[in-house]
Structure 1
């Protein structure tokens, strides 16, 4: 069951307070999408994972600071205009601003997940052009994380594969990952599935059920 409450939240950037809806509990039973978007009720409440301060414009989870961010950054043209991207969704706009903050602080793994949620918000509004654009930016971040020999390298490879396919970068996906072997059987099946779908020019959304079927490997 999803429970939403209203709370007064203090922004850690400007210390102004404001009332926000807060996700108290939810569930994500079932198979996640291949880009990690959860199933169940958690799928529909991503808009509650981010807040915007009405006083200074800071965006964050419960308006908590991720690091030492200069206040002037919130006044920058890039931040105020979302790099000039005209989003159809306020939620997508907020997640993009959160990405800009995370990237500014070099929190690249958080930034990649901010972009994933931004793309999901675009999907929900049928904002297909911006969904593909955001996935391309996220795929570039994922490549940097992989090159850093991240301890979640295989998981990020799978996310990058889905980002490339969903943004119709089929040839790039095939050339980078065809013949690559990962340590886990399910992960190998998932990467093979992505490559097979890319060869067919398929940019649709798939879940882990589409990869393995049955109930032996549930996410969430």
Structure 2
């Protein structure tokens, strides 16, 4: 179940008050997509992930919060350009404004993720050409110094595949394969490799990539540690995750 509340918030940047719908709770059941897009019902709350001040245009998860950099960004050409972005819907544009702020602050991964969220909006609106263009735009935020994070590179791999950027996807697949990754990363890379070879640019989930591929057994040499782990599993429930 998803719950919202309507609240009046004072903008961190201009100080004016406006009314906003605030997401109070939601849930997600099922496997995330390979680009970490959450399953329903949480994926349907995307319009509430960012707020926008109707007076100054400040965009944030909650416009009553921010820092000095957020205020200074509003005076930049980058903010003005992002605010005038011809995105076909306000939700996508909010993510692109947020991406521009992250890029201005030098936060490449955050700019990448915000732009990817805009692509998810295009997916839901059945605009595959826009979604592909936004994915390539997201990938552009990661250009520059080499990315070492496996997590970020796996996200980028899915972004390139979904955007039909086959040459770049094949190069990244080869790079990751050469690193001899452990479970589940190696299995996800292999899944991508097969889909890229088939020129498959469709949405797939992490569950699909790991289907029929259980994690390898872990040898525990300390029997007392094994007992402690068993007790922990019995006592501590497995919480259901509700976040993005």
Taking structure 1 as the reference length, the TM-score comes to 0.87
How do residues 55-134 of structure 1 correspond to structure 2 at under 5 angstroms?
Answer: 55-63=55-63, 64-65=65-66, 68-69=69-70, 70=72, 71-73=74-76, 77-82=80-85, 86-134=86-134
Is residue 66–residue 102 contact of structure 1 (8 Å, CA) maintained in 2?
Answer: no
Greater relative contact order structure (CA < 8 Å, 6+ sep):
1
TM-aligned CA distance change 1:76 to 1:183, over 3 Å: closer
How do residues 138-177 of structure 1 correspond to structure 2 at under 5 angstroms?
Answer: 138-144=138-144, 147-149=146-148, 153-177=149-173
How do residues 17-36 of structure 1 correspond to structure 2 at under 5 angstroms?
Answer: 17-36=17-36
TM-aligned CA distance change 1:198 to 1:55, over 3 Å: same
Q: Which has the higher helix share?
A: 1
Question: Which 5+ residue runs of structure 2 have no aligned equivalent?
Answer: 216-239
Residue-pair matches, total: 212
Alignment partners' CA distance in 2, 1:143 and 1:155: 16
Among 193, 199, 202, which residue is 2:191 paired with? 193
Q: Counterpart of 1:210 in 2: which secondary structure?
A: helix
Q: If you compute each CA radius of gyration, which structure gives the higher value, 1 or 2? A: 2
Alignment partners' CA distance in 1, 2:124 and 2:56: 27
Please say which of residues 21-30 and 179-188 is displaced more in the overlay. Answer: 179-188
TM-aligned CA distance change 1:212 to 1:148, over 3 Å: closer
Taking structure 2 as the reference length, the TM-score comes to 0.79
Is residue 143–residue 160 contact of structure 1 (8 Å, CA) maintained in 2?
Answer: no
